Structure formats: C-alpha cells, structure tokens
Amino acid sequence: MQTPVRMDELTFFVGTWHAEGRFHETPFGAAKPIEMTLTGSSEDRGFWTVLRTEETATEHNPDPLTARYVWGYDEAAGEFVADWYDSNGGRARQRSAGWDGDRLVFLGTITLGGHTVPLRDSFTRTGPDGYHHLGETDLGDGWIPVDDETVTRAGRR
C-alpha cells in the first residue's frame, strides 16, 4: 500500500521545535505562560505524522501537560484526520482540508472531564523554521482562545 502523497504536506512539522506562549483564562483553567518542546516524526512508513508536546515545569506552570497529536490522511474523504491525547485525559478528533497558503486548520471536538466541545487548531507558517499555533473552543458564544504559541525549529531561535 502506498503512503498518500498528501502526507508530504505534513513533513513541515517533522523535527524538534521550541514553543513559548500562554494558556488563556477559560472555564477549563487559569491563564498561565507555557514553554514546551515539540517533536514531530513520520511514523509507520509515512502513513502518520506524530507531534509530541511536552511542557516545561516552571513556577507558573508546576503541572506541565504532555500530549500526542496523530495526523493522517483519509483518501476516501480527501481530508486530513487528527487525533489528540493528553496527560489530563483529554482527547480530540479533528479534520482538515489541508494547507490554505500558509495556514492549516483542524476542526472538530475535544472531550475533557466528561464534556465535549468544539475545538479549532490553527497553524500558521511564519517561515521555513517557524509557525504560530492558536487553539480555540466554542462554548456557545463563538470561538475563544484557549492557548497560543510561537514555535521555532530547534537551533533556529
């Protein structure tokens, strides 16, 4: 079986990245700064791109989150699929049409603490070695930011 050609679109994320940003004040938690390392890899003969995130423990973030994003391509539907699992028991399922210029948006739902809400993750390339991530949810009154980070390929800061 051949790896879908469109999986090449996700090779941008392969490698080691450093991110700085913040969690915004939401019903899920207080605002706090975050620093994290992200490691992207192409796995299982290129059928999946896995992005692992590991927040750094700091005075303002004593309980850092770890997570795993698993991205693939559904050839029948003609869209990317994403599943997210984190160290707080959260899980998400999203879909994306792919890059629109320098922007990649995954839309779906996240389930955490027995609640399922809409989730949108936007990745905007800022160059060959950087991007901005914005995570948003809709609790009934429109999209609100949950977290955002400026991300730079390791060694390129």
- Which domain CATH number covers 99? 2.40.128.20
The answer to whether residues 117 and 123 touch, using CB atoms and an 8 Å cutoff, is: no
Domains in the chain, number: 1
> Residue 62 sits in which domain range?
5-153
* pLDDT tens string 12-50: 999 999 999 999 998 878 899 999 999 999 999 999 999
What local confidence, expressed as pLDDT, does residue 8 receive? 96
| Nearest one of 151, 91, 83, 145 to 120, comparing CA atoms | 145
Tokens of 109: 């739902």
